[in-house]
């Protein structure tokens, strides 16, 4: 198991964002993290990325606690924009290179090309879909062991989504694990091997997608609808 989530709880004031959540991630798998708005998906990702401390419980990455060592192997893409508006796409790469030893500039420049983004375009001139692509390019240019992408397809048009999902999946190998949070449940079905269902801060189930199809005869989206009802 690459990551163990053990009895994680998180309270924001009176709000219980996560409640005694436990599940494990297997190396080399692609996970969808699914749940309605406000169910706790981002909170879990931020705890794993070491940006928020849990109120209770523990996360173990490669059997050790979350610290500077684990953070260097976990690439987290948040939903919030985090680049200065005056930066060009190339500046964004340089900024990442300064921060992360595992950042590969050659890969980044190649991904910018695949996403049809110019090196010289300023962040302030990007449309929201172009911004989403830039965030994916810079995150996937790290050679991390675990990638956590929070709503990676948000704002990206249908045609580009297929291509970008392909780019994201190119990084998957037996050593690499991916977690994608998304509300596009139907689109997730084609690309993920497992699905984590969260509701109101509680883990409902961690399901194997192939198992849902073959043994329960249901699609991921239909299973999601049934679980959330």
| Residues that bind ligand ATP in the complex, under the rule CB under 6 A | 12, 15, 17, 35, 37-43
Residue nearer to ligand ATP on the CB measure, 8 or 140: 8
State both tokens at 122: 């300023």
Q: Least Å distance between CB 196 and ligand ATP?
A: 11
Q: What end-to-end distance do the CA atoms of the chain give, in Å?
A: 31
Residue nearer to ligand ATP on the CB measure, 150 or 189: 150
Residue nearer to ligand ATP on the CB measure, 17 or 209: 17
Residue nearer to ligand ATP on the CB measure, 28 or 50: 50
Query: Helix (H, G, I), strand (E, B), or coil: what is residue 57?
Result: strand
Residue nearer to ligand ATP on the CB measure, 18 or 112: 18
Contacts of 145 (CB under 8 A, 6+ apart): 2, 27, 62, 73, 74, 175, 176, 177
Q: Least Å distance between CB 166 and ligand ATP?
A: 24
Contacts of 165 (CB under 8 A, 6+ apart): 153, 187, 191
Q: Least Å distance between CB 12 and ligand ATP?
A: 3
Q: Least Å distance between CB 122 and ligand ATP?
A: 27
Q: Least Å distance between CB 32 and ligand ATP?
A: 13
CA 48 to chain CA centroid, Å, is 11
Radius of gyration of the chain (CA): 17
């Amino acid at each position: 198991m690459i990551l163990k989530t053990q009895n994680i709880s998180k309270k924001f004031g009176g709000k219980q964002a996560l409640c005694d959540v436990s599940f494990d991630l297997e190396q080399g798998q692609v996970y969808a993290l699914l749940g309605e708005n406000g169910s706790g998906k981002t909170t879990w990702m931020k705890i794993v990325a070491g940006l928020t401390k849990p109120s209770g419980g523990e996360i173990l990455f490669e059997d050790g606690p979350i610290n500077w060592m684990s953070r260097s192997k976990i690439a987290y893409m948040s939903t919030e924009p985090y680049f200065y508006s005056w930066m060009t796409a190339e500046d964004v790469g340089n900024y990442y290179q300064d921060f992360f030893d595992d950042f590969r500039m050659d890969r980044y420049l190649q991904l910018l090309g695949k996403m049809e983004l110019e090196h010289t375009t300023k962040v302030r001139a990007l449309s929201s879909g172009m911004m989403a692509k830039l965030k994916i390019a810079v995150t996937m240019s790290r050679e991390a062991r675990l990638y956590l992408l929070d709503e990676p397809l948000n704002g990206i048009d249908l045609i580009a989504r297929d291509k970008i999902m392909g780019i994201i999946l190119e990084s998957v190998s037996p050593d690499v694990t991916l977690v994608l949070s998304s509300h596009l449940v139907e689109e997730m079905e084609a690309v993920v091997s497992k699905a984590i269902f969260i509701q109101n801060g509680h883990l409902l189930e961690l399901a194997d997608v192939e198992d849902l199809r073959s043994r329960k005869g249901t699609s991921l989206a239909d299973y999601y609808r049934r679980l959330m009802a």
